[in-house]
């Protein structure tokens, strides 16, 4: 440690009378190191924790009031940071041992940036689950509790006929667990998958996502459905209105406006089914 360090407090914070684990002969050096540690702690508070003492306290594993006394040593109850406490805080914050003892200006010269902590919310607690890899379609049988969901292509029929589902020969089938279908109240023989195209339902369903659809004509208000109208098929969120009309909404509301169809306009609308699952690459 360079003995030429200058006192760094511009506010003339006094550390006299505070507890110290050093001898009288080390008093001047103690005054310097305590002020250096204090300056670094304030630097951490402001640059890493947005000036919020509670966040610094939580990250360092110390009581909030205790940390407050370290930040404001000039106030009644204020404390100076000793050797043991400095090392504990460094360890808790993932800092190198002795980081708090280095003059802030030397940190800047050495390029020791203070990493800012971004609050991402509570971590996701996902219990480990076994993953079964299906190498052969014959493995998808009731014995394993896994069944195949066929991949179709969907096109609207000419005139007022029902939409046509055709096997997608190039597509890869999906596999689902029987327990999932039972829990969701779905009939396995009514499930099929298609590939969604376009950006009208982003971010819920991005372009190219694989969606699993449960064939049904009943509209579940507020849920996403596959519908066909005027020779075209769409994936949209539907809202059944009290007056018998149907509100058709895209999740990408910034680019697509709502469409409301009156009861007399619904004759050429075919509800293919309810979207029950979405999968896509990230």
pLDDT at 191: 94
pLDDT of residue 2: 34
> Are 195 and 274 members of one domain?
yes
94 and 186 inside one domain: no
* Domain assignment of residue 18, yes or no: no
- Is 157 part of a structural domain of the chain? yes
The span from the CA of 35 to the CA of 237, in Å, is 61
Please choose, from the candidates 208, 212, 228, 241, the residue with its C-alpha nearest in 3D space to the C-alpha of residue 271: 228
Residue 73 lies in a domain: yes
In order, the DSSP letters of 77-104 are T-----HHHHHHHHHHTTPPTTGGGS-H
Same domain, 97 and 176: no
User: How far apart, in whole angstroms, are the C-alpha atoms of residue 111 and residue 29?
Assistant: 25
Q: Based on the domain organization, do 152 and 208 belong to the same domain?
A: yes
Mean pLDDT, all residues of the chain: 78
Q: Are 188 and 251 in the same domain?
A: yes
CA dihedral (265, 247, 163, 201) in degrees, to 10, reads 150
pLDDT of residue 10: 35
Token code pair at residue 243: 């007056």
Residue 19 pLDDT > 90: no
CA–CA distance, 16 with 102 (Å, rounded to integer): 21
Percent of the chain with pLDDT over 90: 33
User: What are 87-98's pLDDT values in tens digits?
Assistant: 999 888 888 888
Confidence of residue 165 (pLDDT cuts 50, 70, 90): confident
Bridge partners of 13?
A: none
- Looking up residue 42, the CATH number of its domain turns out to be 1.10.260.40
215 forms beta bridges with 273
pLDDT digits (tens, 9 = 90+) for 48-92: 888 889 989 998 999 999 999 999 888 888 888 889 999 999 888
211 backbone dihedrals φ, ψ, rounded to 5°? -120, 140
Whether 106 is covered by a domain: the verdict is yes
In angstroms, the CA 72 to CA 26 distance is 23
Residue finishing a domain among 92, 110, 128: 110
Domain harbouring 219, CATH code: 2.10.109.10
| Structural domain boundaries enclosing 83 | 24-110
Does one domain contain both 34 and 81? yes
Token look-up 């951490």 returns 44
Q: What is the DSSP letter of 35?
A: H
The model's pTM: 0.53
Rounded to an integer, what distance in angstroms lies between the CA atom of residue 118 and that of residue 125?
19
Instruction: State the total domains in the chain.
Output: 2
In a domain? residue 5: no
In terms of domains, do 95 and 222 share one? no
Query: Is position 231 within any domain?
Result: yes
Tell whether 253 and 145 lie within a shared domain.
yes
Q: Are residues 147 and 101 in the same domain?
A: no
The mean pLDDT of 223-232, rounded to a whole number, is 88
What confidence tens digit (pLDDT) does each residue in 101-153 have? 888 777 655 555 555 545 555 565 656 655 555 555 555 555 558 888 988 88
């Amino acid at each position: 440690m360079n003995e030429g360090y200058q006192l760094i407090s511009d506010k003339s914070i006094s550390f006299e009378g505070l507890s110290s684990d050093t001898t009288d002969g080390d008093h001047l050096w103690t005054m310097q190191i305590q002020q250096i540690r204090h300056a670094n702690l304030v630097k951490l508070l402001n640059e890493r924790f947005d000036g919020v003492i509670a966040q610094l306290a939580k990250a360092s594993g110390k009581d909030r009031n205790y940390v407050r006394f370290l930040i404001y040593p000039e106030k009644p109850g204020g404390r100076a940071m000793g050797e043991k406490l400095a090392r504990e805080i460094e360890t808790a914050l993932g800092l190198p041992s002795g980081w708090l003892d280095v003059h802030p200006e030397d940190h800047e010269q050495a390029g020791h940036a203070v990493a800012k902590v971004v609050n991402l919310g509570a971590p996701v607690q996902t219990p480990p689950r076994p993953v079964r890899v299906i190498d052969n379609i014959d493995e998808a049988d009731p014995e394993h509790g896994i069944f195949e969901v066929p991949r179709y292509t969907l096109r609207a029929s000419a005139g007022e006929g029902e939409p046509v589902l055709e096997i997608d020969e190039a597509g890869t089938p999906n596999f689902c667990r029987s327990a999932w279908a039972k829990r969701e109240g779905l009939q396995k023989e009514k499930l099929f998958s298609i590939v969604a195209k376009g950006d009208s339902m982003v971010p819920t369903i991005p372009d190219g996502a694989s969606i699993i659809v449960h064939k049904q004509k009943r509209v579940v208000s507020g849920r996403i459905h596959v519908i066909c109208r005027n020779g075209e098929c769409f994936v949209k969120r539907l809202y059944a209105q009290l007056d018998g009309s149907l509100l058709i909404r895209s999740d990408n509301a910034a680019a697509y406006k709502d469409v409301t169809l009156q009861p007399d306009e619904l004759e050429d609308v075919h509800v293919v089914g309810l979207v029950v699952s979405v999968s896509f690459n990230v």
